[in-house]
Copies of this chain bind each other. A is one copy, B any other.
Amino acid sequence: MRITIIGLGLIGGSAALAWKQAHAEGRFPGGSLSITAVDTNPATLSLALERGIADRVTPSIAEGVLDADLVLLAVPVLAMGAVMKEVDRAAPVDAVITDAGSVRGSVITAVRMNARPERIRHYVPLHPIAGAEKAGLEFATPTLYRGATGVVTPLPESDLEDVALVVDLWRAAGLTVVEMTPEEHDRIYAMVSHVPHMIAFALMDMAVSSPESRTALAAAGGGFRDTTRIAAADARMWADITRANRTAILDGISRFEAALTHLKGLVAADDYEGYRTYFERTAEARREINSSLPPVQAGKSGGDAGKD
């Protein structure tokens, strides 16, 4: 199988490494494997060849997808439409297309608007819920997806065999795959990822805007470390995600504000039983899901960014 990865950053590079490893271990579901990498950065392409992450590299999408059996779009969500347009022109008509974007609704719309209608049956959106403290190919690792969840959001037109293939490929990379509708995906990831990022950014904003910020940040403990870890995320990527999932994010922020306003009211009234019950209920909920959350990964513990 010839896979072309467009955008060889942390996500695309880690997928390449994971598939190479699966292939070496006889677990690759697509038979033979050859990986073509397309990236605008020449240094990234050199590194990919040097490390054996890709078998072929090119800065040209048209050249890269020419004989692809499967194309993975691993570019920023706002770039998906433009990239799809070039892929559409050059890729074989039956090539399977998948993308790893963090947002579904607007990405699917962008892909639809930039591809021939007959291509859409070969398009399978699957979002791997994985990130790391640093962006870029140099941090790519074959283990990035191990123990993580992937969300496949097939379209009404999607060919079932193509869906099965994309799911199998990501499973071979380590993901546990669940299925949702694109709308469910966007509402849910606004709630468990995008809004928590907004909150972490706002918490840092509050802390750095304080006249005591230097003392405060120097004296912060592990609670602050963890609640703000994801605030170190790549600003550009998060601006793109914010634009791409704006409606669900605004709705999620409003729902969070309502939850905090309720708690603030209990504290303002010094309703001790009220806030104790609130804390008990939420603490219990947090403990219950503990075992289902992905473990802290070595190397992530420093507390930097995270895409997920």
Contact = CB atoms under 8 A, between A and B. Distances in A.
A264 B194 CA distance: 12
A201 B283 contact: yes
Interface stretch (A13-21, A46-54, A106-114, A214-222): A214-222
A24 interface: no
A193 B286 contact: no
A115 interface: no
A220 B275 CA distance: 26
A249 to B, nearest CB: 6
B279 A304 contact: no
A138 interface: no
Copy tally for this chain in the complex stands at 2
Contact of A222 (B203, B235, B296): B296
A44 interface: no
Interface residues of A, number: 105
A6 to B, nearest CB: 23
A244 to B, nearest CB: 11
A302 B85 CA distance: 44
B198 A263 contact: yes
B201 A217 contact: no
Contacts of A207: 191-192, 285
Contacts of A216: 188, 191-192
Contacts of A296: 222, 225-226, 296, 301-303
5 contacts: A149-B218, A188-B219, A198-B267, A224-B293, A232-B287
